[in-house]
């Protein structure tokens, strides 16, 4: 739990669990047992208001009341929630860039900034990149980075043979959410540090994270 009040919560999503779906083992099903029920009149079953991929780790925003779920969805629709991700990508990449490749026929946009680079015997170059998606298409960051020739390490769907890393997970982490609380009007900046597998590749990360 990174933040919780009567309106909403921000939690850590581990890798290997669906946010929602037909499976019993989902974040949505687990919330009832792990989040305090709101004391407000319109309290409802807590619901994630956005999604993270099955293998993606990081911060997930949850509404705890009917009015909060509506308000948070509106913030996402109006692009008033800033999302920041970090990923490990393969191959020499420009210091920054904007990717606007359409996804499923819809306009999409992601901005990236190169934070750190290390040499790799197997992959040549590995990069730590900061990602700021401006739209929310399915698998957007994974598709965008693959499209420009720099797939995310561990991506078995959009990676390129023989550079697919097996058994280590997807190196994509939802690092932070920044937004104005729709009811208290508090400025919230909630983040979760990178998983250990990132730190094993890149040393001294504190100086490059935002």
- Which H/E stretch holds residue 28? helix 27-34
pLDDT of residue 207: 61
Provide the phi-psi class of 140: left if phi over 0, else alpha when psi is between -120 and 50, else beta. alpha
Q: In the Cβ-directed half-sphere of 72, how many Cα atoms lie within 13 Å?
A: 24
As annotated, the active-site residues are 53
pLDDT score of 166 more than 80: no
What DSSP state is assigned to residue 50? S
Q: Which CATH architecture has domain 3-80+178-188?
A: 2-Layer Sandwich (3.30)
Predicted TM-score (pTM) of the model is 0.93
pLDDT in tens, 17-36: 999 987 788 999 999 999 99
pLDDT in tens, 107-135: 999 999 999 999 999 899 999 999 999 99
pLDDT of residue 167: 74
pLDDT of residue 22: 76
| Distance in angstroms (rounded) separating the CA atoms of residues 164 and 170 | 10
Q: Which two tokens stand for residue 17?
A: 């669990």
pLDDT in tens, 61-95: 999 999 999 999 999 999 999 999 999 999 999 99
pLDDT in tens, 167-192: 788 999 999 999 999 999 999 999 99
How far is residue 180 CA from its own chain's centroid? 19
Residue located via tokens 């990923």: 87
Q: Which two tokens stand for residue 2?
A: 């990174």
């Amino acid at each position: 739990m990174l933040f919780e009040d009567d309106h909403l919560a921000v939690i850590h999503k581990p890798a290997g669990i669906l946010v929602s779906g037909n499976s019993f083992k989902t974040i949505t099903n687990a919330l009832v047992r792990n989040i305090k029920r709101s004391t407000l009149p319109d309290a409802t079953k807590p619901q994630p208001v956005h999604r993270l991929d099955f293998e993606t780790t990081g911060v997930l925003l949850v509404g705890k009341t009917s009015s909060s779920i509506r308000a948070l969805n509106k913030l996402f629709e109006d692009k008033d929630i800033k999302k920041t991700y970090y990923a490990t990508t393969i191959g020499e990449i420009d210091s920054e860039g904007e990717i606007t490749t359409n996804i499923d026929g819809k306009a999409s946009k992601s901005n990236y900034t190169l934070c750190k680079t290390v040499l790799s015997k197997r992959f040549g170059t590995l990069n730590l990149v900061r990602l700021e998606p401006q739209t929310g298409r399915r698998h957007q960051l994974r598709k965008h980075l693959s499209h420009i020739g720099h797939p995310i390490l561990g991506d078995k769907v959009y990676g390129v043979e023989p550079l697919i890393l097996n058994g280590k997970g997807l190196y994509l982490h939802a690092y932070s959410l920044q937004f104005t609380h729709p009811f208290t009007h508090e400025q919230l900046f909630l983040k979760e540090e990178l998983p250990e597998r990132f730190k094993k590749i890149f040393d001294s990360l504190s100086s490059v994270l935002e």
